[in-house]
Amino acid sequence: MTETAPARLVLGAMMLGTAVDEGTSFALLDRFVERGGVWIDTANVYAFWATDSGLGGDSERLLGRWLAARPGVRDRVRIATKLGADRLEPGAGPERREGLSPAAVRAAFAGSLDRLGIDRVDLLWLHQEDRSVPIEETVEALAGLAADRFGFSNHPAWRVERARAHAVAIGARPFDAMQLNATYLRPRPGTLPPGVVHRFGVLSDEQADYATEHGMDLWAYTPLLSGAYDNPAKTIPRVYDHPGTTARLAALDEVAAESGAARGQVVLAWLLSRGIRPMLGASKPGQLDSALDGVGLELTEDQLEHLNAVDRFPWANPYT
């Protein structure tokens, strides 16, 4: 069945329940469903940096309260959550995170289900790679969990391949999704955009090619640069400060003017044209409505070619 345009957008719930208060969070979730949105993405680590406890879980708890307060809505939405990155104690650095050992995976998942108030999730992500644990052990631990699908966030392609091969070997469901940072602009080589703390967190040509060849879903976080495409009060991060960005922004402005859309809306439509599902972390209803309008934008073949042909070299487009 072909997805409707709103169903192609993911609502990121990272700051719901912390920076975004409960009333606003419920209004955003209600509006998302009202307009045909389906996928809601969270993680057990969200948002430890914004909580009094210094630990994650508030986003999942908020979603759990919303689901409980909206009888029947669970049948209309799909819930994705991530594990492996929550801190072991308040104030701990990234080296003190739960990781992906079988025991950690089982404990983290049980905690997520409890906070969400549901008996299974539609998609479970491994949030960050953990090289202290053989990926085969993690795969075997996942095989018995109540999740309909499994995916990788912030993992190199070779570990994805190893995990998928082992899942097939033991008769488990193979991973079928990857979540990484992606947008229309490209960062300078050797740099990471703000909010990307994983060296394999930005979608690369190899990761995109692997996903395409194996029919895996690609999800893109921070596709709108936290509003910098359209909000004059925000600047485009310095990692994008290079000549290629100048050319790409010019093309983006031309297509936006032709289509009567905002820059960010064109970016969302462009990502979807590449088979990439964008994720939006809205904090205001207007932001959500704009994004939902953007995923419904139909770019012409000429407009897509114009966006794709900028600074083109054989190796230059990582989203082919």
Which residue numbers are catalytic?
46
Q: What's the token pair of residue 233?
A: 């009060």
Strands 39-41 and 10-12: parallel
163/175 Cα distance (integer angstroms): 8
Q: What's the token pair of residue 144?
A: 């018995």
Partnered with residue 315 across adjacent β-strands are none
314/156 Cα distance (integer angstroms): 22
User: Which three-class secondary structure state does DSSP give residue 89?
Assistant: coil
In which element (H, E) is residue 103 found? helix 102-116
Q: What's the token pair of residue 300?
A: 């012409």
Q: DSSP character for 128?
A: S
